[in-house]
């Protein structure tokens, strides 16, 4: 299966984002294994992480960081959102909200109203690779195209990953 999740493909088409669909062995979809098996530098592999804000009603933000960095939820994301209590959304919560599979969660096809915080380091890359909404595809494209999404907010939200 080399087809993107249909909601992901619809958003890519609507935004006219030039991209390349990369086939992925579903067993190798998780970032570190994917990078090792397909020769993608960790600086070019970007992870979409859903963060649950502990508000009433509960709300969410999506964050995009490179695999060479770590999302700083407690300080940087908290400061951006103005919410002190938050946590990483569980795999079940992520799948229920996005309709996407862990190992393939992407910035495209997210529900309306979910802001997208993109780490400034992502924007410095020549290209990035993100999930395809499933575990059997990835999407390669120029990160500056993320600005076509009205929900995109570029900020420093990550810190370097230590060994």
- Cβ–Cβ under 8 Å, residues 34 and 130: no
Domain assignment present for 126: yes
Domain assignment present for 110: yes
Q: How many domains does the chain have?
A: 1
What pLDDT band is residue 162 in, cutting at 50, 70 and 90?
A: confident
- What's this model's pTM, rounded to 2 decimal places? 0.95
CA distance 92 to 15: 28
pLDDT digits (tens, 9 = 90+) for 81-124: 999 999 999 999 999 999 998 899 999 999 989 999 999 999 99
Which CATH number covers residue 82? 3.90.960.10
* Domain that residue 114 falls in: 6-160
Domain assignment present for 87: yes
pLDDT digits (tens, 9 = 90+) for 17-67: 999 999 999 999 999 999 999 999 999 999 999 999 999 998 999 999 999
pLDDT digits (tens, 9 = 90+) for 99-108: 998 899 999 9
Q: Which residues contact 141 (CB under 8 A, 6 or more apart)?
A: 17, 18, 19, 20, 127, 128, 130
Domain assignment present for 1: no
What pLDDT band is residue 163 in, cutting at 50, 70 and 90?
A: low
Cis before 142? omega within 30: no
CA distance 108 to 129: 12
Nearest Cα to Cα of residue 149 among 20, 7, 11: 11
């Amino acid at each position: 299966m080399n087809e993107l999740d249909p909601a992901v493909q619809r958003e890519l088409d609507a935004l006219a984002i030039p991209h390349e669909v990369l086939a992925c062995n579903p067993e190798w979809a998780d970032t570190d294994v994917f990078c090792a098996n397909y020769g993608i530098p960790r600086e070019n592999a970007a992870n979409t992480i859903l963060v649950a804000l502990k508000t009433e009603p509960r709300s969410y933000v999506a964050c995009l960081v490179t695999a060479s960095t770590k999302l700083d939820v407690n300080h940087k994301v908290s400061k951006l959102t103005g919410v002190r209590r938050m946590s990483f959304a569980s795999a079940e919560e992520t799948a229920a909200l996005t309709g996407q599979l862990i190992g393939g969660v992407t910035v495209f096809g997210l529900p309306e109203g979910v802001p997208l915080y993109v780490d400034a380091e992502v924007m410095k890359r020549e290209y990035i690779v993100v999930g395809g909404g499933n575990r059997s595809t990835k999407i390669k494209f120029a990160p500056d195209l993320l600005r076509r999404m009205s929900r995109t907010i570029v900020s420093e939200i990550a810190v370097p990953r230590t060994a």
